[in-house]
Amino acid sequence: MAGTAREDYERWLGRGLALDLTRGKPCPEQLDLSSGLLALAQDGSFARSDGDIRNYGGSAAGLLELREIFAPLLQVPVDQLCAADNSSLALMYQAVITSFVDSPAADAPAWRNTEPPVFLCPVPGYDRHFGVCADLGVTMKPVPTNADGPDMDVLESLVAGDPNVKGMWLVPKYTNPAGWTVSPEVVRRLATMPVAAPDFRIYWDNAYAVHDLTDTPDQLDDLLAACAAAGNPDRAFVFGSTSKITFAGGGVSFFGSSPANVAWWLKHAAKRTIGPDKINQAQHAEFFGSPDGVLAHMQKHRAILEPKFAAVQDSLGKRLQGLDGVSWTNPNGGYFVSLEVQPGTASRVVELAGAAGVKLTPAGAPFPYGSDPADTNIRLAPSFPGAAELEQALDVLADCIVLASDEASAG
């Protein structure tokens, strides 16, 4: 058997493959869906609710027409939603770094005057969230997750017991990478749990709010409303973007929260810049026209993505079903399949695949400090490759997993 697995693997070597399953990048066909967007706002009528979209001026909160479209989709009242530039990650980074000079809670000291802040990180999670913490000197503590979100017993104990815990990351719907959606019960507990720090904030990165891949999409409860109802109105920072709706590099992003948090946000945003790029915001508003326009557009993405996610299930099922210690998710939406391989072999699988020309996200990336204690998780991103490339990459991957398992058994 070991001989066969090695032979299966070795037939890929020297083939000069260059396949990539690393990042959740839209494929060119997905980007083409939004080409019409660039043709808008060119007829010489640049006047919008906020004045001439080409010029300075208007609200620091961004173009109202755009905020009206995305407010219901992101579950944020329109007057509590700000529209910004192409990167929601930049908004999260800005929220963290701004807290070092001015805490979002009026009665809490700026973090430059406190012990180093701690953020809780449900794992596996989004590596770029952890990169923000690492860059800004925020200590990360992993929190285990279940099929409906973070393990709330662990989480509640940490936020209640440590006033240095100032925040937590969460991709609440079709989470990156594990694909689950936070349950109503978890939303309820997040909104109501006692916290030690008055400026504790949930960084609710709703990146895949409308990124359904089935006819029975996951439903996400409204955290902002739940927090307000629980008497903790300032607990949630909601983020979103069109990076995986229009253009990954040239979309628009959103920040929503309570009136007090939005006032804090805009106070600093208005000193940082004279305003966001309203031309791009107007193009997005006119391209979609309404929330339903966004949902209709997402069905076109689904038509491209659904076969790719099905190919992952088919391919892994055929090759790996029943293999000891190997399992994978089958999400209802989002951009990732999360693969568990035999503990202790994830790094070896990534190494073997790389040598055969298939680039995988580094093992450990979805964990704080890049370290997966069990060395078992691999994140697969099937959106970018074409059908043939994807199939070939999955074939290689399966051979690598089998070989790494064999090697581990052989000790």
Is 85 one of the binding residues for a copy of itself (CB under 8 A)? yes
Is 274 one of the binding residues for a copy of itself (CB under 8 A)? yes
CB of 31 to a copy of itself, least distance (A): 4
State the alpha helices, DSSP H only, in 249-375. 259-272, 278-288, 291-320, 346-355
Q: How far apart are alpha carbons 311 and 393 in whole angstroms?
A: 11
Cβ pair 221, 187 in contact under 8 A: yes
Applying CB under 8 A, which of residues 2, 39, 296, 355 lies at the interface with a copy of itself?
A: 39
Q: Per CB under 8 A, which region of 39-47, 257-265, 356-364, 388-396 contacts a copy of itself? A: 39-47
Is 106 one of the binding residues for a copy of itself (CB under 8 A)? no
Applying CB under 8 A, which of residues 42, 146, 299, 327 lies at the interface with a copy of itself?
A: 42
Joined tokens for residue 278? 């309203």
Q: Segment 351-410, which members bind a copy of itself (CB under 8 A)?
A: none
Q: Closest Cα partner for 296 from 221, 212, 375, 378?
A: 212
Is 183 one of the binding residues for a copy of itself (CB under 8 A)? no
Q: Segment 278-297, which members bind a copy of itself (CB under 8 A)?
A: 278-280
Q: Closest Cα partner for 70 from 289, 334, 333?
A: 289
Task: Give whichever of 125 and 150 is closer to a copy of itself, judged by the CB atom.
Answer: 125
Q: Segment 254-273, which members bind a copy of itself (CB under 8 A)?
A: 267-268, 271-273
Strand pairing class (118-123; 165-170): parallel
Count of residues engaged in binding a copy of itself, rule: CB under 8 A: 57
103 CB-near residues (< 8 Å, 6+ apart):
109, 110, 111, 199
- Alpha-carbon dihedral 289, 170, 228, 73, rounded to 10 degrees: 10
**Binding residues vs a copy of itself (CB under 8 A):** 23, 25-26, 28, 31-32, 34-35, 38-39, 41-42, 44, 46, 52-58, 85-87, 89-90, 93-94, 97-98, 100-101, 112, 128, 131-132, 134-137, 243, 247-250, 267-268, 271-280
